Amino acid sequence: SRLEPEQSNVSKSPLSSEKSSLNPLDDSEEKLSAEESKDRNLPDAQSNLGLWGDGKGEDELSPEEIQMFEQENQRLVGEMNNLFDEVRQIEGKVVEISRLQEIFTEKVLQQETDIDNIHQLVVGATENIKEGNEDIREAIKNNAGFRVWILFFLVMCSFSLLFLDWYDN
């Protein structure tokens, strides 16, 4: 109720500037009426504040109500302590998760270097296998050529022996 006159004065302020240009007498009348209503509302607000602010107008609490409030207070304190303990546990778990995540990150980075090393080894092994296959093909070719030379040598020796035997006869 204390704010209503101020809001009405604020809302009337744009209008009052227009009215002041139209009629200065109406403006002074509005100001007087606003001040009177403000003065009337001020004692009402003070009397309400006195009743609620001092607490003298309230009845005293009965022992059962005091006991109920104490029990509720104890229950709320217990709940708050439980919540505090749960928050501490959750905080500990979050710290543990953070620590495990750091370890996980380290292991992933370590695995990355291991995977790069394995990749390099696989590439090297693949190149060695290609070179080995080429060496085997070359060895097969050389072995076939060596067989041909041995076969040629044996054939020539046989013909030489046949020629010498024919020449002797």
User: How is 83-112 classified by DSSP, letter by letter?
Assistant: HHHHHHHHHHHHHHHHHHHHHHHHHHHHHH
Average pLDDT, rounded, for the chain: 77
Domain that holds residue 100: 67-144
Q: Residue 59's pLDDT is what?
A: 64
Q: What average pLDDT does range 77-83 have in this prediction?
A: 94
Q: Is residue 89 part of a domain?
A: yes
C-alpha 146/C-alpha 129 separation (Å) is 25
Share of the chain above pLDDT 90, in %: 50
Q: Is residue 92 part of a domain?
A: yes
Whether this prediction's pTM lies above 0.75 is answered by: no
Q: Is residue 162 part of a domain?
A: no
Which carries the bigger pLDDT value, residue 22 or residue 87? 87
Q: Is residue 34 part of a domain?
A: no
Residue 68 has pLDDT above 80, yes or no: yes
Q: Is residue 6 part of a domain?
A: no
Residue 69 has pLDDT above 50, yes or no: yes
Residue with tokens 């006991």: 67
Residue 32 has pLDDT above 60, yes or no: no
Q: Is residue 117 part of a domain?
A: yes
Residue 83 has pLDDT above 80, yes or no: yes
Q: Residue 16's pLDDT is what?
A: 45
- Of 80, 154, 59, the C-alpha closest to 146 is 154
Q: Residue 11's pLDDT is what?
A: 47
Q: Residue 144's pLDDT is what?
A: 82
The total number of structural domains that make up the chain: 1
Q: Is residue 19 part of a domain?
A: no
Residue 30 has pLDDT above 60, yes or no: no
Per-residue pLDDT tens digits for 124-143: 999 999 999 999 998 888 88
Q: Residue 93's pLDDT is what?
A: 96
Q: Residue 52's pLDDT is what?
A: 47
Q: Is residue 101 part of a domain?
A: yes
